[in-house]
């Protein structure tokens, strides 16, 4: 076995922050999983908006919505930052997927552009 799988780490900038909500992020996960042929499992969110006291006290550069979409072969992790209009994505799977498809779809969904990405081979001998 050459590797256990791969992970792509993507930084998107100049995004439309009106997409940084649970409904939009859930839609993103559903459509991305269809596009790259991944089987969705549990989806979990974290955002300060549901914890008013913590939200008020959080520094502006930390305010956003985060999600972990578990997939049968690993996970997709999303962190949005409202004030920076940025999205930070990780897609990790032992099942192969097309990097360009993930980047292009993510740019379109969030209305931003890919500032940087890294492809990591996991567990490579």
CATH of the domain at 106: 3.60.90.10
How confident is the model at residue 125, as a pLDDT?
59
CA dihedral 17→115→71→82, nearest 10 degrees, is -20
Rg (C-alpha) for the chain, rounded Å, is 15
Q: Which pTM does this prediction carry?
A: 0.89
95-109 tens-digit pLDDT: 999 999 999 999 999
50-68 tens-digit pLDDT: 666 666 677 777 778 999 9
DSSP string, 36-57: TT--EEEEEEEEGGGSHHHHHH
Owning domain of residue 42: 5-122
Strands 65-71 and 74-81: antiparallel
How many domains, in total, are found in the chain?
A: 1
């Amino acid at each position: 076995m050459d590797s256990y799988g791969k992970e792509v780490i993507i930084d998107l900038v100049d995004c439309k922050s009106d997409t940084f909500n649970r409904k939009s992020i859930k839609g993103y996960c559903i459509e991305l999983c269809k596009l790259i042929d991944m089987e969705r499992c549990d989806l979990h969110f974290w955002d300060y908006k549901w914890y008013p006291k913590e939200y008020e006290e959080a520094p502006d550069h930390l305010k956003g919505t985060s999600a972990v979409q578990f997939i049968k072969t690993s996970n997709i992790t999303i962190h949005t930052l409202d004030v920076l209009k940025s999205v930070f994505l990780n897609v990790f799977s032992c099942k192969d997927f097309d990097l360009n498809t993930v980047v292009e779809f993510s740019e379109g969904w969030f209305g931003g552009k890919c500032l940087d990405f890294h492809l990591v081979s996991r567990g490579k001998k």
